[in-house]
Structure 1
Amino acid sequence: MSEQRTVRIDVGGMTCANCAATIEDAVSDLDGAAATANYATDEATVEYDPEHVSLSEVFDAVESAGYDPIAETVTVGITGMTCANCSATIEDAVGGLPGVVSVDANYATDEATVRYAPSVTTREEIDDAVEDAGYEPIRDEGDDDGESAKDAARAAELRRQRRLTLFGAALAAPLLAMLALELFAPGTLPEELPGTGLPLGWVAFALATPVQVVLGREFYVNSYKALVVNRRANMDVLIALGSSTAYGYSVIALLGVLPRAGLYFDTAALILVFITLGNYLEARSKSQAGEAIRSLLELEADTATVIHEDGTEEEVPVDEIAVGDRLKVRPGERVPTDGVVREGESAVDESMVTGESVPVRKEPGDEVIGSTVNENGVLVVEATKVGEETAIQQIVKRVKEAQSRQPEIQNLADRISAYFVPAVIANALLWGAVWYVAPEALAGLVSALPLWGLAAGGPAAVGVTEFAVLVFASAVLIACPCALGLATPAATMVGTSIGAQHGVLFEGGDVLERVRDTDAVVFDKTGTLTRGEMTLTDAVPISPAPDGAVPAGEDELEPTDEAERAAGAEYAEGLGDATERLLAAAATAERGSEHPIAEAVVAGARERGVEPAELQVLQNVSGKGIRARTEHGTVVVGKPELLREEEVAPEPGLERMRELESEGKTAMLVALDGELLGVLAVADEVRESAVTAVEALHERGIVVHMITGDNERTARAVADRVGIEPGNVRAGVLPEDKADAVEAIQSDGSRAMMVGDGINDAPALAAAFVGVAIGSGTDVAIEAADVTLMRSDPEDVVKAINVSEGTLAKIKQNLFWALGYNTAMIPLASLGLLQPALAAAAMAFSSVSVLANSMAFRSYDPDERYRLLRRFR
């Protein structure tokens, strides 16, 4: 029977006893869990059986009930991991702590991401658990030079592996020379070292023993920890077995215990040198893979020029900037932090953050992103975000989080790795025993193979026992679980970095995988396919013409007599007054709203010389319009159904409204004190890149949909311009109904990607298979989205799919190589076709090749295909 655990967690959001009861009920619904919540202390005491329910499920239950269990997430740098089994060991060790909610150790990035309840477990206990498992946590946050502790540890490890490799190579070089002479010029080696009388066997022992002690020490220590402390075999066990078998057998033979037995000191030394060289190249590749993040951080400015209230200027370190400070940015300087332009005009190069290749024009009121470069003109910027809140810091945070969450395909590698090392050892013992028991039968079967004899000339040449030992050592060494463990995280690390460099931020490696699997893309219209910058285009008053008058534009016939001419002039003058009245009423009502349409109406009225009056009360009617009490009276602006609710007949304006909507404009009716005043229309320009994006998605066979709260005619006009099929347009959808619309699209099994602004569209983003938030450059921490696009450009949706496809292709290449390597090499070693030294070299090469394949992916350009597409459009 498993032991019950009791933990106390802090919970936010409780306001009364009912809240406490809700939490207790939610936890009690879990099998094997119960809770006692206290809203006065904002705590819950949870008792649970870890065999039936995890702490993560408890936290999820509390969150689902609408409350906030307090947890912290920390990334722990770790040195000493050598394969995926090491990652699993750390996850088991840290996950066993009572307050740990989840833990994800990543062998490729040398770190573990841990979510834990600080009221139960401390960071120090997490570090201790890592250390107790046999690995070294990086406890310090940084050093005096400002370099991160993780980067410092990685650099130190790189130097250590280089020193070990050079030391081992220096001693192994004479052994390699002797081996080459023996292989290619048999009989030329003397039995003794010339001039010393020292047998060559003892010379080989003297050269190989320091290698065994210095290079082999960490493999033996790590093997002991893996087998004795953690009861789990890892790659170090295979290396220790292979090298110690060759070395131990040679020592026994040198002492005369095994007459006529050969010496394999060269093999024992070369095994360790090749593996250490592989570790060095692996550490070097890991360091290069993290360069994208480091290069982003290096873009940050070191100092800033602060303008004080008295007009004086002072240069200060960037970390001393406070929100609200005014900063002067001269041409060629980096913008110190996120902010808003208050004075000046310039072009700013944002390519390093958003991927936008063309400098963006900035003027007062525009947002700027920290670390971007001011091209020309002096800007005065007011700081709005500093420190860890800046866009570039958020980007780095998102990329690191993405790299810690692996795709589902990684589960395959993890499942294989869990059983791989024991299976390899069992296989080596089996074939070693078979060669010892039936050498002649096996030799007869495999002697026809072209590689026969590479191990040592077969049992007939070296003896049955010796050949069986060689087969065991080779079969152990040839297997490489590290290549399998590196295949997915190495490619994911590069793929997420490529995305960040091109303004595409993935929430995690699992999201990176899902993006490729989408077969439908759902665009929100306003601000996504269109620019989201509304302008007032039409103001049409509804006023009956006096008898005999001919309203302009309604009839091309000239008036036939003086009476008709006079009536027409009077009507035209009245029409001007009616337009002013229409604009004044609408602008006054809309001035209290922050909606883009409202802002366009107010701005358009002022451009026409009409100033809004005082607004008294404003009521927003979701999806229909607004009601307002103003100096002019009660104003209603919106759709026909809203006017009908106010007992205003919309029919006189419907004809003109339909005409405007057929032009792709958004039209609305305006009424004052029960009287219909007229029709207003605003337009939102369609993005040119939206056409290319939709075309590119169609080329891939992806179905494109559009959802909008706009009316049917306006929606269809925009859809027609960008190339979306009329049947895939959903118009008049209220914000709260967008999630239902997305679910309806997915009801036939489609995997939909919803693309929206991340605020009004949050429920729809969460409901979609993949949620994509189009950002504004500075707002990159959108919780509801799986992917954030730094630019407001629908073409970046295609870019995200390209990065996803490229990364998954690279992962599959890596897995194919890792699995194919073992599939081919283990049988060769088991059949006695490889020497142990060659097996060790092949083992090291397999890991390096997987990393090299991932590093080659760094040059991938997700834009290239669509540059060609735009060229030929």
Structure 2
Amino acid sequence: MSERRTVRIDVGGMTCANCAATIEDAVADLDGVGEISANYATDEATVEYDPERVSLAEVFEAVESAGYDPIAETATVGITGMTCANCSATIEDAVGDLPGVVRVDANYATDEATVRYAPSATTREDVYDAIEAAGYEPIREDGAGGADGTDDGDGQSAADAARDAELARQRRLTLFGAALSAPLLAMLAFELFAPGTLPEEIPGTGLHIGWVAFALATPVQVLLGREFYENSYTALVVNRRANMDVLIALGSTTAYGYSVIALLGVLPQAGLYFDTAALILVFITLGNYLEARSKSQAGEAIRSLLELEADTATLVEDDGTEREVPIDEVAVGDRLKVRPGERVPTDGVVREGESAVDESMVTGESVPVGKGPGDEVIGSTVNENGVLVIEATKVGEETAIQQIVERVKEAQSRQPDIQRVADRISAYFVPAVIVNALLWGTVWFFAPETLAGVVSALPLWGLAAGGPAAVGVTEFAVLVFASAVLIACPCALGLATPAATMVGTSIGAQHGVLFEGGDVLERVRDTDAVVFDKTGTLTRGEMTLTDAVPVSPAADGAVSAAEEEEADRGDEADEGGDATESLLAAAATAENGSEHPIAEAVVAGARERGVEPGDLDVLQNVSGKGIRARTEHGTVVVGKPALLREEDVDPEPAMETMRELESAGKTAMLVAVDGELLGVLAVADEVRESAVAAVEALRERGIAVHMITGDNERTARAVAERVGIDPERVRAGVLPEDKADAVESIQADGSRAMMVGDGVNDAPALASAFVGVAIGSGTDVAIEAADVTLMRSDPADVVKAINVSEGTLAKVKQNLFWALGYNTAMIPLASLGLLQPVLAAAAMAFSSVSVLANSMAFRSYDPDERYRLLGRFR
């Protein structure tokens, strides 16, 4: 039976004792939870649980699903010393055993671990200590090297400084080993191509020439081999897990130790392999250097984003004077001047001036965007021509550029499900390789003639240096063991997925597509249905008042907009004008208290027509139907016919006009005051130019395209027809609380739906979908609930996201194919004695570098290219 744990969790959102009881009930339902006590007075919960049956992550999810906020912090810690996927697993186990750790993802490709933990139970220092206890070096936040981008004083983060220092160390070791191995390689060449050229003894000493090789190889064995021995000890003794270092230490020590024994005369006539031992370590160290260099290049996209940030800003004081200040001194509310050619220092709103701003580095939009008073600007973008005065709205870590970097880092720490297969293979890989090497070394020792008779028929037998007959049975068995150990490479397998994911998420960020994680990146490719919200997604979400049609008291119907314009200028026209003015005044006064796009359009449209809103006393939103308001005009109701019927107002006199407006793709609403129907208002929302191309591209892929909207059936169908969505896949009149149900009904037949939306009312639907996509102009709530964020607010970027996903997963599969194919082909060759240890070590180093090189080649991928060639996008 496993040891039970007790953890204390701070919980936000509790307002009464009933909240505590709700949390207790939600957590107690989990299998494996013993005692649970939630305290409203202290805003905390104490949970006793069995970690073998329930994880702390599941406890947190239960608290969140109950509607409360378990307090957790997330730390990204840079780590040095990881050499393979097994190292990542070791770190995850070590940190995961800490009380209060909710989730830990260690990424061998980025040399980082992302840890989510309850600060009431675990501290960042505890995380550092656990990593150190596992035998690795965390990059601390202090002067010794801080993670999370802490600046070390010269503009370089501590994590980057540690990465550069490691790169320099690997380079020094490689050069040192190469310098001492070069003479050994020359001696080997003489022995192979000019036998007898080298003397058997060192002149004047009487010592065997092999002592020269010993003198050259021993420093290499000590200095280059040291970290492999230390890491092997930690892996086997401390963590009880074999990793790649164990294989390298076994292979090089076998060659070196056998040579020392032979040199001392214990094995007469045995060959010396000091050159092999040294070259093994040099090749592996060279591979580590190239690997570290490739990792650094893979993270270049993120570092280049951070380098775009401005260092200073021009602060405009209240008296109009200007002064230059460091960017970290800018506060929310400060006014900043941005001259042509300068970078916008921080996120803000334009207060004065007009200009075009190049936002390509953040959103991927290649065309500069016009900005004027009231428009939002993004920090790090470039002001093209005019002078702007902006008011800072977000600074420091809250800016868009910092949020993008954090989003991409988090995405890189969460790997696709396909990585789990590689991790499972890696967990058993090293022990299996050692067993295989021992098996074949033993077989070659006890049955050399039988095995040689079979293997000698193979075309590669020449690589076996003549087989056991030429070098001796014992020596050949040792060579087979060393080769079989060295040829296996779990590094390539461990790098295959994270390296490609790291590049893929960076490509997405460069093109304005932010993925929540590598697992999301994988799911995007698998979607077979895309569900668009209408307003603000397929359309611009910028409503304009187009029609104000009062009900004619004389005729049992409504006066159309055209009839109103063509009316005579007599008393009848005056009465019509008065009726329109009354209609607009009542509606604008009621809507003036709402921030809904339709409400803003009504108020703005009334003002354009010379009608100012009056005084508003009380406003009530009726979800999905409209509003009720108490105003100086009386009790005003604006909304759908159903809402008016609830107020005992007959909507029939205006229904024909309403149908005509909706058939034209407009959103129509009725207005009544004190139980009397006044007329119909209509607003229109322009369809985004790229929506048609996006829908067409998705349909060409065989993806079913749906639309969900709270708007009426006729307007919804008009918009759907314009963008190319089949009428049977349109759901209209869907209330906000029902959107999630609508998405689930689409997925009921097994479809994997991607929901694309922008509003607060889309958040539940985004969370219910197989993949939730929020467009960047949407609300923070929608973006938080989404798996993917489109920075450009462009529905065409849905296709771009799918392209990035497909490209990344294709690269992952290529990497896995080469990594697994390499081992499948090479391990048998080494086991059959067809590969020398030096060649095995070189091939092992090359395999990891080739996987990284394949991933780096992916950096040139352009997810827009396919459609640009077709002339669809830009």
What is the 5 A alignment of 1:652-663? 652-663=653-664
The Cα of 1:763 is off from its aligned counterpart by: 0.4
Match of 2:240 in 1: 231
Moved more, 781-790 or 42-51: 42-51
Could you give the per-residue CA deviations for residues 67-94 of structure 1, whole angstroms, max 9, x where no partner exists? 2222211111111010011111111111
- Which of 512, 521, 526 aligns to 1:503? It is 512
Amino acid at match of 1:836: P
Match of 2:17 in 1: 17
Aligned in 2, Cα 1:627/1:242: closer, same or farther, shift over 3 Å?
same
Identity %: 89
Amino acid at match of 2:25: D
Match of 1:177 in 2: 186
Aligned in 2, Cα 1:371/1:779: closer, same or farther, shift over 3 Å?
farther
Question: Given that residues 369 and 778 in structure 1 are in contact (C-alpha distance below 8 angstroms), is that contact kept between their aligned partners in structure 2?
Answer: no
SS class of match (2:421): helix
Question: Given that residues 598 and 683 in structure 2 are in contact (C-alpha distance below 8 angstroms), is that contact kept between their aligned partners in structure 1?
Answer: yes
Aligned in 2, Cα 1:551/1:469: closer, same or farther, shift over 3 Å?
closer
Match of 1:783 in 2: 784
SS class of match (1:542): strand
Amino acid at match of 1:169: A
- Verify: 1:38 aligned to 2:47, yes or no: no
Moved more, 715-724 or 20-29: 20-29
Alpha-carbon distance in 2 for matches of 1:714, 1:434: 79
Question: Given that residues 316 and 336 in structure 2 are in contact (C-alpha distance below 8 angstroms), is that contact kept between their aligned partners in structure 1?
Answer: yes
What is the 5 A alignment of 1:324-343? 324-343=333-352
The Cα of 1:96 is off from its aligned counterpart by: 1.4
Match of 2:313 in 1: 304
Alpha-carbon distance in 2 for matches of 1:338, 1:602: 28
Aligned in 2, Cα 1:573/1:69: closer, same or farther, shift over 3 Å?
closer
The Cα of 1:550 is off from its aligned counterpart by: 12
The Cα of 1:430 is off from its aligned counterpart by: 0.2
The Cα of 1:577 is off from its aligned counterpart by: 2.1
SS class of match (1:287): helix
- Verify: 1:436 aligned to 2:445, yes or no: yes
Alpha-carbon distance in 1 for matches of 2:339, 2:781: 26
The Cα of 1:192 is off from its aligned counterpart by: 4.2
Alpha-carbon distance in 2 for matches of 1:781, 1:308: 36
Could you give the per-residue CA deviations for residues 650-681 of structure 1, whole angstroms, max 9, x where no partner exists? 22211111111111111112222332222211
Question: Given that residues 394 and 780 in structure 1 are in contact (C-alpha distance below 8 angstroms), is that contact kept between their aligned partners in structure 2?
Answer: no
Alpha-carbon distance in 1 for matches of 2:190, 2:701: 59
Question: Given that residues 763 and 781 in structure 2 are in contact (C-alpha distance below 8 angstroms), is that contact kept between their aligned partners in structure 1?
Answer: no
- Verify: 1:362 aligned to 2:367, yes or no: no
Moved more, 831-840 or 28-37: 28-37
What is the 5 A alignment of 1:548-559? none
Alpha-carbon distance in 1 for matches of 2:376, 2:790: 16
Could you give the per-residue CA deviations for residues 688-731 of structure 1, whole angstroms, max 9, x where no partner exists? 10011001101111000000111111101100110000010000
The Cα of 1:186 is off from its aligned counterpart by: 4.0
The Cα of 1:258 is off from its aligned counterpart by: 0.9
SS class of match (1:760): helix
SS class of match (1:747): helix
Match of 2:823 in 1: 822
SS class of match (1:540): strand
Question: Given that residues 758 and 779 in structure 2 are in contact (C-alpha distance below 8 angstroms), is that contact kept between their aligned partners in structure 1?
Answer: no
SS class of match (2:192): helix
Amino acid at match of 2:165: A
Amino acid at match of 1:429: L
Aligned in 2, Cα 1:363/1:87: closer, same or farther, shift over 3 Å?
same
Match of 1:466 in 2: 475
Match of 2:27 in 1: 27
SS class of match (1:381): strand
Aligned in 2, Cα 1:791/1:203: closer, same or farther, shift over 3 Å?
same
Match of 1:798 in 2: 799
SS class of match (2:227): helix
- Verify: 1:541 aligned to 2:550, yes or no: yes
Question: Given that residues 515 and 801 in structure 1 are in contact (C-alpha distance below 8 angstroms), is that contact kept between their aligned partners in structure 2?
Answer: yes
The Cα of 1:496 is off from its aligned counterpart by: 0.7
Match of 2:128 in 1: 127
Alpha-carbon distance in 2 for matches of 1:670, 1:60: 45
What is the 5 A alignment of 1:337-736? 337-545=346-554, 569-736=570-737
Amino acid at match of 1:771: G
Alpha-carbon distance in 2 for matches of 1:46, 1:672: 56
Aligned in 2, Cα 1:871/1:522: closer, same or farther, shift over 3 Å?
closer
The Cα of 1:217 is off from its aligned counterpart by: 0.7
The Cα of 1:649 is off from its aligned counterpart by: 1.9
Alpha-carbon distance in 2 for matches of 1:554, 1:596: 28
Match of 2:107 in 1: 106
Could you give the per-residue CA deviations for residues 572-618 of structure 1, whole angstroms, max 9, x where no partner exists? 33222222222222212211111111111111111112222222222
Amino acid at match of 1:161: Q
Alpha-carbon distance in 1 for matches of 2:820, 2:51: 35
Amino acid at match of 2:218: T
Question: Given that residues 72 and 115 in structure 1 are in contact (C-alpha distance below 8 angstroms), is that contact kept between their aligned partners in structure 2?
Answer: yes
Match of 1:2 in 2: 2
After TM superposition, the score normalised by the length of structure 1 is: 0.96
Moved more, 275-284 or 607-616: 607-616
Amino acid at match of 1:8: R
Match of 1:52 in 2: 53
Alpha-carbon distance in 2 for matches of 1:262, 1:758: 75
The Cα of 1:105 is off from its aligned counterpart by: 1.0
Amino acid at match of 1:830: S
Match of 2:328 in 1: 319
SS class of match (2:370): strand
Alpha-carbon distance in 2 for matches of 1:553, 1:217: 89
Moved more, 450-459 or 177-186: 177-186
Moved more, 781-790 or 244-253: 781-790
The Cα of 1:151 is off from its aligned counterpart by: 0.8
Alpha-carbon distance in 2 for matches of 1:657, 1:417: 66
The Cα of 1:644 is off from its aligned counterpart by: 1.8
After TM superposition, the score normalised by the length of structure 2 is: 0.96
The Cα of 1:552 is off from its aligned counterpart by: 9.4
Alpha-carbon distance in 1 for matches of 2:67, 2:555: 62
The Cα of 1:14 is off from its aligned counterpart by: 2.5
Alpha-carbon distance in 2 for matches of 1:718, 1:194: 94
Aligned in 2, Cα 1:584/1:781: closer, same or farther, shift over 3 Å?
closer
The Cα of 1:60 is off from its aligned counterpart by: 2.4
Alpha-carbon distance in 2 for matches of 1:634, 1:555: 26
Match of 1:155 in 2: 164
The Cα of 1:28 is off from its aligned counterpart by: 2.6
Aligned in 2, Cα 1:727/1:117: closer, same or farther, shift over 3 Å?
same
SS class of match (2:254): helix
SS class of match (2:297): helix
SS class of match (1:173): helix
The Cα of 1:198 is off from its aligned counterpart by: 5.5
Alpha-carbon distance in 2 for matches of 1:668, 1:555: 18
Alpha-carbon distance in 1 for matches of 2:341, 2:778: 20
Question: Given that residues 758 and 778 in structure 2 are in contact (C-alpha distance below 8 angstroms), is that contact kept between their aligned partners in structure 1?
Answer: no
Question: Given that residues 758 and 765 in structure 1 are in contact (C-alpha distance below 8 angstroms), is that contact kept between their aligned partners in structure 2?
Answer: no
The Cα of 1:35 is off from its aligned counterpart by: 1.5
Aligned in 2, Cα 1:553/1:218: closer, same or farther, shift over 3 Å?
closer
The Cα of 1:638 is off from its aligned counterpart by: 1.4
Amino acid at match of 1:225: T
Alpha-carbon distance in 2 for matches of 1:669, 1:20: 45
Aligned in 2, Cα 1:485/1:551: closer, same or farther, shift over 3 Å?
closer
Could you give the per-residue CA deviations for residues 425-453 of structure 1, whole angstroms, max 9, x where no partner exists? 00000000001111111111111212113
Alpha-carbon distance in 1 for matches of 2:434, 2:525: 38
Moved more, 187-196 or 69-78: 187-196
Question: Given that residues 535 and 685 in structure 2 are in contact (C-alpha distance below 8 angstroms), is that contact kept between their aligned partners in structure 1?
Answer: yes
Alpha-carbon distance in 2 for matches of 1:552, 1:145: 67
Amino acid at match of 1:488: T
Alpha-carbon distance in 2 for matches of 1:642, 1:607: 28
Question: Given that residues 394 and 781 in structure 1 are in contact (C-alpha distance below 8 angstroms), is that contact kept between their aligned partners in structure 2?
Answer: no
Aligned in 2, Cα 1:860/1:607: closer, same or farther, shift over 3 Å?
same
Alpha-carbon distance in 1 for matches of 2:560, 2:753: 50
Count of aligned pairs: 864
Alpha-carbon distance in 1 for matches of 2:13, 2:781: 26
Moved more, 851-860 or 769-778: 769-778
